[in-house]
């Protein structure tokens, strides 16, 4: 069986057998089996799920890494594919099955071309990216301590097969979460004057929070705040004692990220005071913004041109990726792989054009050899 058929077979296996964050046991075992059979070295990292392989070149050179995430999403598949998910309510709706097989393909190609490889390449099959914190599991192993640069890829259904999205600078946002608890005084719905309404207070907080983007952040800086959940009360004729709301903040600029944490807390507390209530805010920091190194971008474009890919400017996204945690340690470059235009990621109809698999694996091997 030729390499393309093998990689498509592996891809379809991973697609049929999705596993959620930190549950990727069968996925890890399958990756290990494929790589071990090909003689690819697997490092002895202390990971419950996920693994790190290495291909050591015959010549001296840099130590590089390729990050490939492996987890799926709690989404019910609606693609109608013959190799659709066998796991009810679970699906590779973000393309991590593609990322996994591209890492495998790259490893197999590099293994065959070790004589040409300068330095070493570590292929990181990372668990839990959808948790936004899976990269920290890899960092805890210290496997990247000697790595000089790291590459990342992501499926992109907004571009045709054969297209790579690459650009220098920020390409995805820092992802943070806030949770606000409002405490009022409960009372009968017919006598609001006997209490302090936390729902009214929460509504005022929601409105006021939007002023951060429009009045506190530089108009040329990408930033957003979304309140995505509100809970209060349990019946129609009682004003409750408490209300709860939470949401997400997305920023590119580091100073803006600090500003949002400060202002969300201030607005929540002071708006509550204005309504006679109390409010407390919890800030749950996620991954920072992804930033593409200028020299690595130039190298990735040269390799793309050599391999016959069309290169377009990568769209910046307010979505996040924990790839950014690696970039706090070392330079990185995160590229988008066109998978054929169709339903967007995280949706039940998302699918990948299988024709992209071998050419992209060849591209990644060429990039890492160069």
Rounded distance between C-alpha atoms, residue 95 and residue 350, angstroms: 8
Mean pLDDT of the region 283-308: 97
Domain count, the chain: 2
- Given a cut of 90, whether residue 2 has pLDDT beyond it is yes
**Does residue 96 have a known ligand-binding role?**
yes
Residue 208, domain CATH: 3.30.70.360
Looking at 285, 320, 336, which one is the last position of a domain?
285
202 and 322 belong to one structural domain: no
35 and 154 belong to one structural domain: yes
242 and 271 belong to one structural domain: yes
280 and 299 belong to one structural domain: no
What percent of the chain is predicted at pLDDT more than 90?
Answer: 98
315 and 346 belong to one structural domain: yes
How would you write 133-186 as a 3-class SS string? CHHHHHHHCCCCCCCCEEEEEEEECCCCCCEEECCCEEEECEEEEEEEEEECEC
**Does residue 346 have a known ligand-binding role?**
yes
187 and 165 belong to one structural domain: no
Longest Cα–Cα distance of the chain, Å, equals 82
- What pLDDT, in 10s, does the model give residues 314-331? 988 999 999 999 999 999
- Given a cut of 90, whether residue 208 has pLDDT beyond it is yes
The chain-wide mean pLDDT, for the chain, equals 97
- The side-by-side arrangement of strands in the sheet containing 51-56 is 41-42, 51-56, 118-126, 59-69, 149-156, 332-338, 163-165, 310-312
134 and 22 belong to one structural domain: yes
- Given a cut of 90, whether residue 56 has pLDDT beyond it is yes
* Domain ranges, residue 36: 3-171+289-369
pLDDT the model gives residue 1: 65
For residue 286, the surrounding DSSP H or E stretch is: none
- What pLDDT, in 10s, does the model give residues 221-261? 999 999 999 999 999 999 999 999 999 999 999 999 999 99
Residue 71, domain CATH: 3.40.630.10
The answer to whether the CB of 67 falls within 8 A of the CB of 126 is yes
312 and 360 belong to one structural domain: yes
36 and 132 belong to one structural domain: yes
Looking at 285, 310, 342, which one is the last position of a domain?
285
- Given a cut of 90, whether residue 149 has pLDDT beyond it is yes
Contacts of 168 (CB under 8 A, 6+ apart): 292, 293, 294, 297
Buried b (16+ CB within 10 A) or exposed e, 129-155: bbbbebbebbbebebbeebebbbbbbb
What residues does 91 pair with on adjacent strands? 73
pLDDT the model gives residue 33: 98
What is the DSSP code string of 39-59?
Answer: T-EE-----SS-EEEEEE-SE
pLDDT the model gives residue 198: 98
pLDDT the model gives residue 370: 79
pLDDT the model gives residue 130: 95
The answer to whether the CB of 259 falls within 8 A of the CB of 217 is yes
- Given a cut of 80, whether residue 77 has pLDDT beyond it is yes
- What pLDDT, in 10s, does the model give residues 111-144? 999 999 999 999 999 999 999 899 999 999 999 9
Looking at 256, 285, 314, which one is the last position of a domain?
285
What does the block give as tokens for 323?
Answer: 């790839």
In which region does residue 132 sit, left (phi positive, over 0), alpha (psi from -120 to 50) or beta (all else)?
Answer: left
Rounded distance between C-alpha atoms, residue 186 and residue 179, angstroms: 21
**Does residue 295 have a known ligand-binding role?**
no
What residues does 196 pair with on adjacent strands? 185
248 and 299 belong to one structural domain: no
């Amino acid at each position: 069986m030729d390499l393309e058929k093998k990689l498509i077979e592996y891809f379809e296996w991973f697609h049929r057998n999705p596993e959620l964050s930190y549950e990727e046991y069968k996925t890890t075992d399958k990756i290990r089996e494929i790589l071990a059979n090909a003689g690819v070295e697997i490092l002895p990292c202390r990971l419950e799920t996920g693994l790190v392989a290495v291909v050591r070149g015959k010549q001296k050179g840099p130590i590089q890494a390729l990050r490939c995430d492996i987890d799926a999403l709690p989404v019910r598949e609606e693609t109608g594919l013959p190799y659709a998910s066998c796991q009810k309510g679970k699906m590779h709706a973000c393309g991590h099955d593609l990322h996994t097989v591209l890492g495998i393909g790259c490893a197999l190609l590099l293994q065959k071309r070790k004589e040409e490889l300068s330095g070493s390449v570590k292929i990181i099959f990372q668990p839990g990216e959808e948790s936004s914190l899976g990269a920290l599991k890899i960092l805890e192993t210290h496997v990247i301590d000697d790595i000089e640069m790291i590459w990342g890829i992501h499926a992109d259904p907004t571009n045709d097969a054969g297209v790579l999205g690459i650009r220098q600078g920020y390409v995805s946002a820092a992802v943070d979460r806030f949770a606000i608890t409002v405490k009022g005084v409960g009372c009968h719905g017919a006598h609001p004057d006997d209490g302090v309404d936390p729902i009214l207070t929460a509504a005022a907080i929601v409105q006021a929070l939007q002023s951060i983007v429009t009045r506190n952040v530089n108009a040329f800086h990408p930033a957003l705040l979304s309140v995505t959940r509100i809970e209060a009360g349990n019946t129609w004729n009682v004003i409750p004692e408490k209300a709860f709301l939470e949401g997400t903040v997305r920023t590119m600029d580091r100073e803006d990220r600090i500003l949002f944490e400060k202002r969300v807390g201030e607005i929540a507390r002071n708006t509550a005071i204005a309504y006679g209530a109390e409010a407390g805010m919890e800030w749950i920091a996620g991954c920072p913004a992804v930033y593409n190194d200028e020299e690595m971008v130039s190298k990735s474009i040269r390799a793309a041109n050599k391999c016959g890919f069309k290169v377009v400017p990568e769209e910046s996204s307010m979505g996040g990726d924990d790839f950014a945690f690696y970039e706090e340690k070392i330079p990185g470059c995160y590229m988008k792989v066109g998978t054929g235009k169709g339903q967007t990621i995280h949706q039940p109809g998302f699918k990948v054009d299988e024709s992209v698999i071998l050419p992209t694996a060849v591209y990644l091997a060429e990039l890492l050899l160069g």
